[in-house]
Amino acid sequence: MLSAELKAFYMVARLGSITLAAKKLGLSQPTVTTQIRHLESQYAVELFYRGGRRLTLSDDGARLLPMVKTLLQQEADIEFFLRNSGQGQGVLRIAATAPYYILDLVKIFRERLAQVEVSVEIGNSQQVLEMLEDYRVDLAASSQLVEDTRLVRRVLGADPLVVAVHRNHPLAKFDSVPIGALAGHCLLMRESGSTTRQLTEDMLRESAVAVGSLLEIGSRESIREGVLRNIGISIIARHEVPHNPELRVLTLEGAPVMHEYLYCLKERRQARLPAAFLGVAQEVCAL
């Protein structure tokens, strides 16, 4: 019980928000609030100063935070050690921005280590890297380039950004368009934290192009469904556009190439399962 309450305290202290902490922990806001209040009442300590909706660490909370961080790190290390112990079994946890590159590697990995359980969680670039840094996963596949001495990085692949439109859309008659051709059209985009969205916003800003409207949709699948219904158009990596007679794929002139990277914490790269998966990635991507 104390472990759960300390995790709630740590996440709220780190993010400064019960709402964000609850989302990260996969809990409801009332549950996180109750855990924090129970911890404070049980030990008669005030961990946060409360001003309206804002939470600020108290002096006691600030002194507790590094101790909790060390404890949670030790718990993560123990759990990681146990999952990587033994011969032929274990659990490998992966986070990825999309299934396209990572599932081919998972297939080969599972053929070699059939007894190992593999979990793959999908999120945007920012989310999967946060999961890696928080020790919630062992490996992260992201399109975001990170220069960090704590991480090992492998290139999984590269893909150009293209424009996906419905076959009845006015732009569908073109094979290739400049970024300026998107002016005035409804653009479907991912949420903040998506590398595709960041690249799209950079192109629009640098070219001083004003689209008609922005419609934020939180998943690739939903964006594709939006394009299929001719709600708007989208800038998307080429391999993410499904084969569908209702869709047209247009080359976007001057568009950047988006790379996909595989990341692992250096301190864990020699562990049995991450090392085996990194080996598969190195073999496949070197072909």
- pLDDT on residue 278: 94
Residue 246: name the closest of 172, 196, 155 by CA. Answer: 172
* pLDDT tens digits, 88-122: 678 899 999 888 889 999 999 999 998 899 999 98
The CATH classification of domain 2-69, taken from the options 1.10.8.60, 2.60.200.30, 1.10.10.10, 3.90.650.10: 1.10.10.10
Residue 202 host element (H or E): helix 195-206
Segments in 151-193 forming alpha helices (H): none
Determine contact, residues 60/45, Cβ cutoff 8 Å: yes
Q: Give the pTM.
A: 0.74
- Residue 287 pLDDT: 55
Mean pLDDT in residue range 23-40: 91
Q: Where are the domains of the chain?
A: 2-69, 91-156+259-285, 158-257
> How far is CA 113 from each of CA 61, 64, 254, rounded to the nearest angstrom?
44, 41, 43
**pLDDT, average across residues 215-226:** 86
Query: Hey, what are 142's tokens?
Result: 């992201």
Compute the distance between CA of residue 195 and CA of residue 209 in angstroms, rounded to an integer: 19
Q: What is the dihedral of CA 188, 192, 196, 199, to 10 degrees?
A: 100
Task: Please name the fold of domain 158-257.
Answer: D-Maltodextrin-Binding Protein; domain 2 (3.40.190)
The CATH code of domain 91-156+259-285 reads 3.40.190.10
Summarised one tens digit per residue, pLDDT across range 33-72 is 999 999 999 999 999 988 766 788 999 999 999 999 999 8
Beta bridge partners of 92: 118
Residue 250 has pLDDT above 80, yes or no: yes
End-to-end CA distance of the chain: 49
Percentage of the chain modeled with pLDDT above 90:
55
Write down the mean pLDDT value for the chain: 90
